[in-house]
Amino acid sequence: MANIRIPTPLRTFTNGDTDITVKGNTVGEALLDLTSQYVELKQHLYNEDGKLRAFVNIFLDGDDVRHLNGENTAINAESSLRIVPSVAGGFI
Amino acid sequence: MALNLPENLYNQVIVHLTSAYPHEGAGFLVGKELDDQRSVCMILALDNEWETNETHKRYKIMPNAFLEAENTAEKHGLGLIGVFHSHPDHPARPSEYDRRFALPWFSYLIISIYKNRVGHATSWLLSDNRDHFIEELLNIE
């Protein structure tokens, strides 16, 4: 099964665990499995429309999946996924 | 939760944010958490990588910078505990835009920076349901 590395601010929802094993044949399925294991993560990864939040970047073996096939990108048991946030804000 | 920021690190933050003025400046707070106390042990001052000419009201830290910061924190036996950024000519209160893009768990240190002076500093945590910020105690000493 593939592995997802969790960034620091989201580890509070995975009992402090950094690396989570997930099932699935695509990035999207892996994320679905992750949020079924750790339900509280879902609202921080996905917006109200069910889409990944703009600041959530998913890397597969070092590549941003936006440059691959997005959440439909195929993965296998050796795949290494990583959730890497952008950080943004502004006064208005 | 309380955020404890040594004065020398607060001064480093101020140097970075005042040098960024009139644009927003930003960076990471690196340190430790014990019980309800977070202690800042170092800061990582970063470039504002917002892609348009709105850097006077927007900041962005890119994913590669986030990864580098996590690695740097781990090398020092510490962790990322929050983000600092400035509000040029505006109050040190989080905006709706800050909220939409906020990460849970992180302390968000906001400092008002004006042309000839430094304004207030406040620190905030995103609420559990993401719909507002909760101000935390900020100790600068």
Averaged confidence pLDDT in chain A: 96
Using pLDDT thresholds of 50, 70 and 90, give the confidence band for residue B56.
very high
Check CB contact under 8 Å for A90 and B58. Answer: yes
Domains of chain A, by residue range, sit at: 2-85
Residue carrying the six token digits 């939409």: B100
Touching check for B54 and chain A: CB below 8 Å? yes
B132 assigned to some structural domain: no
Between CA A88 and CA A11 the distance in angstroms is 20
Q: What are the respective helix, strand and coil percentages of chain B, to the nearest 5?
A: 25, 45, 35
Say which amino acid occupies B68. Answer: E
- Six-digit token string for A45: 């990864």
First vs last C-alpha separation in chain A: 43
Check CB contact under 8 Å for B103 and A9. Answer: yes
Chain A residues with CB-CB distance to B129 below 8 A = 43
Domain tally, chain B: 1
The string of pLDDT tens digits covering residues A32-73 is 999 999 999 999 999 999 999 999 999 999 999 999 999 999
The string of pLDDT tens digits covering residues B98-113 is 999 999 999 999 999 9
Chain B residue with Cα closest to A85: B63
Q: What is the pLDDT of residue A52?
A: 95
- Six-digit token string for A80: 């290494």
Count of pairs with CB atoms under 8 A, one residue in A, one in B: 88
Between CA B42 and CA B40 the distance in angstroms is 6
- Alpha-carbon gap: B109 to the closest alpha carbon of chain A (Å): 12
Q: What is the pLDDT of residue A87?
A: 96
Averaged confidence pLDDT in chain B: 96
Among B127, B21, B125, B103, which Cα is nearest to A87's?
B103
Check CB contact under 8 Å for B66 and A9. Answer: no
User: Is B24:B85 a contact under the CB 8 Å cutoff?
Assistant: yes
Query: Which strands make up the sheet holding A19-22, listed edge to edge?
Result: A19-22, A2-5, A80-85, A56-60, A63-64
Check CB contact under 8 Å for A86 and B63. Answer: yes
Q: What is the pLDDT of residue B116?
A: 84
The string of pLDDT tens digits covering residues B1-37 is 999 999 999 999 999 999 999 999 999 999 999 999 9
B34 assigned to some structural domain: yes
Best of B38, B51, B80, B105 to substitute, by most chain A Cβ atoms within 10 angstroms, is B105
Q: What is the pLDDT of residue B83?
A: 98
* CATH number of the CATH domain containing B51: 3.40.140.10
Using pLDDT thresholds of 50, 70 and 90, give the confidence band for residue B141.
very high
Question: Can you tell me whether residue B13 is helix, strand or coil?
Answer: helix
* ipTM at complex level: 0.91
Using pLDDT thresholds of 50, 70 and 90, give the confidence band for residue A75.
very high
Q: What is the pLDDT of residue B46?
A: 97
Check CB contact under 8 Å for A54 and B101. Answer: yes
Q: What is the pLDDT of residue A92?
A: 86
CATH topology of domain A2-85: Ubiquitin-like (UB roll) (3.10.20)
Q: What is the pTM of this model?
A: 0.95
Please name the residue ranges forming H helices in A1-92. Answer: 27-37, 42-45
Question: Can you tell me whether residue B80 is helix, strand or coil?
Answer: strand
Residue carrying the six token digits 């429309």: A49
Say which of B26, B83, B95 has its CB closest to residue A92.
B95
B134 assigned to some structural domain: no
Between CA A63 and CA A75 the distance in angstroms is 12
Please determine, for residue B125, whether its predicted confidence score (pLDDT) is greater than 90: yes
User: Is A10:B105 a contact under the CB 8 Å cutoff?
Assistant: yes
B95 assigned to some structural domain: yes
Q: B49 lies in which domain range?
A: 2-120
Between CA B125 and CA B119 the distance in angstroms is 20
